Amino acid sequence: MLRSGWPASPSTPAGTGTNTIKKVLGGCVVQETFAGGGASPLVGWSFSVYDARRKKWRQTWVDDQGSYLDLAGGVKDGEATLANERTDPDGKTVIQRMVFFHIAPDSLDWRWESSADAGKTWKVLWPIHYTRRKTDRAAGPAPCRRPEHAQLDFWVGEWNVTDAGKTIATSREEKAEGGCVLVERYTQSDGYSGESVNFYDAALKKWRQTWVDAAGGVSEFAGELKDGAMRFEGESHRADGRRVLRKLVFTPLAGGRVRQFSQASTDGGGTWLPHYDYTYVPR
């Protein structure tokens, strides 16, 4: 549910309304369906996507009062901002932006504001307070909204996988089952491929990964986020019956990249040797 403040213009009515947010297209797009309140309720849709090339969020908004907006921005210091520029009939440039702040599990504040002096000062045009509806919580994946379930989200995306600078594979990681599972789909240029499911086990307070590949190999890992990296330990079973102990570390890098470093032991953990050292680069 949303509760809006004073109307700044006929297109921003005061009152209460609803806003339904969901992920579509395999989690690649955030779709908004807005139904405002007041004497002349505003109805609109938006579609938001993360542009990995520009490393920005982008949103397109349309409504039943003829508005069309393209905005871009990102998240910083716990607030999300999306902005654009328009030119008034008198030739002046005006910056418009929406700001999401006071973000909590079941509520947030939002405001639409503008600046006519290149961002030096801002005029709030429309403030809204959002409260999650109980029906949404009952229907949604409440157990997987906790921060622990987002600890591996830095790996979500579409990637070129490089080994010593050479691209050897593509990989796609996406959230599924209401955010409770992170699914990996990995394909090398030589035909080797595999998939994994990754999830936070609240009972064990550990992350777990199960990997299966096209060569008949399977792996089981458990781990935790420590010192800025997701650190797994586990065991791989080859199709020929061999068992190999493994260590697997995922580390977020600058530029939105991710390092995946694997070590292996064939002597019960007595010695550990590098297995591979891959870098995931946003596609």
Q: What is the CATH number of the domain that holds 171?
A: 2.40.128.20
Q: Same domain, yes or no, for 266 and 153?
A: yes
Structure tokens that stand for 35 in this block: 């139904």
| Integer CA distances (angstroms), 211 to 197, 239, 249, 270, in order | 7, 13, 15, 24
What is d(CA 13, CA 21) in angstroms, rounded to the nearest whole number? Answer: 20
Q: What is the pLDDT of residue 40?
A: 53
What is d(CA 170, CA 162) in angstroms, rounded to the nearest whole number? Answer: 9
Residue 14 sits in a domain whose CATH number is 2.40.128
What is the tally of structural domains in the chain?
2
Q: Same domain, yes or no, for 158 and 73?
A: no
Q: Same domain, yes or no, for 49 and 16?
A: yes
Alpha helices in the chain (DSSP H): 134-139
In the listed set 90, 108, 140, which residue is the last one of a domain according to the structure? 140
Q: Same domain, yes or no, for 158 and 277?
A: yes
Q: Same domain, yes or no, for 104 and 154?
A: no
Q: Same domain, yes or no, for 50 and 123?
A: yes
Q: What is the pLDDT of residue 135?
A: 56
In the listed set 125, 140, 155, which residue is the last one of a domain according to the structure? 140
pLDDT in tens, the chain (283 residues): 455 443 333 344 456 888 889 887 777 888 898 887 665 578 888 989 888 878 889 899 888 877 888 899 999 988 999 999 988 888 889 999 999 999 998 899 999 999 999 999 999 998 999 998 875 444 544 578 888 999 999 999 999 999 999 999 999 999 888 788 999 999 999 999 999 999 999 889 999 999 999 988 899 999 999 999 999 999 999 888 889 999 999 999 999 999 999 999 999 999 999 999 999 999 9
Q: What is the pLDDT of residue 142?
A: 54
In this predicted model, what pLDDT tens digit does every residue of 2-11 receive, in sequence order?
Answer: 554 433 333 4
User: Residue 258's domain spans which residues?
Assistant: 147-282
Q: What is the pLDDT of residue 137?
A: 44
Alpha-carbon 31 to chain mean position:
14
Structure tokens that stand for 249 in this block: 């570390």
Nearest CA-CA partner of 187 in 173, 207, 208, 174: 173
Q: Same domain, yes or no, for 41 and 74?
A: yes
Q: What is the pLDDT of residue 42?
A: 81
What count of Cα atoms within 13 Å lies in the side-chain half-sphere of residue 122?
Answer: 15
In the listed set 80, 109, 140, which residue is the last one of a domain according to the structure? 140
Q: What is the pLDDT of residue 136?
A: 45
Structure tokens that stand for 250 in this block: 């995922």
Q: Same domain, yes or no, for 276 and 160?
A: yes
What is d(CA 170, CA 160) in angstroms, rounded to the nearest whole number? Answer: 5
Dihedral sign for Cα atoms in the order 171, 177, 179, 181:
negative
What is d(CA 123, CA 153) in angstroms, rounded to the nearest whole number? Answer: 35
Q: Same domain, yes or no, for 178 and 109?
A: no
Q: What is the pLDDT of residue 35?
A: 86
Look up tokens 């992170």; give the residue: 182
Q: Same domain, yes or no, for 8 and 99?
A: yes
Q: Same domain, yes or no, for 163 and 256?
A: yes
Q: Same domain, yes or no, for 133 and 153?
A: no
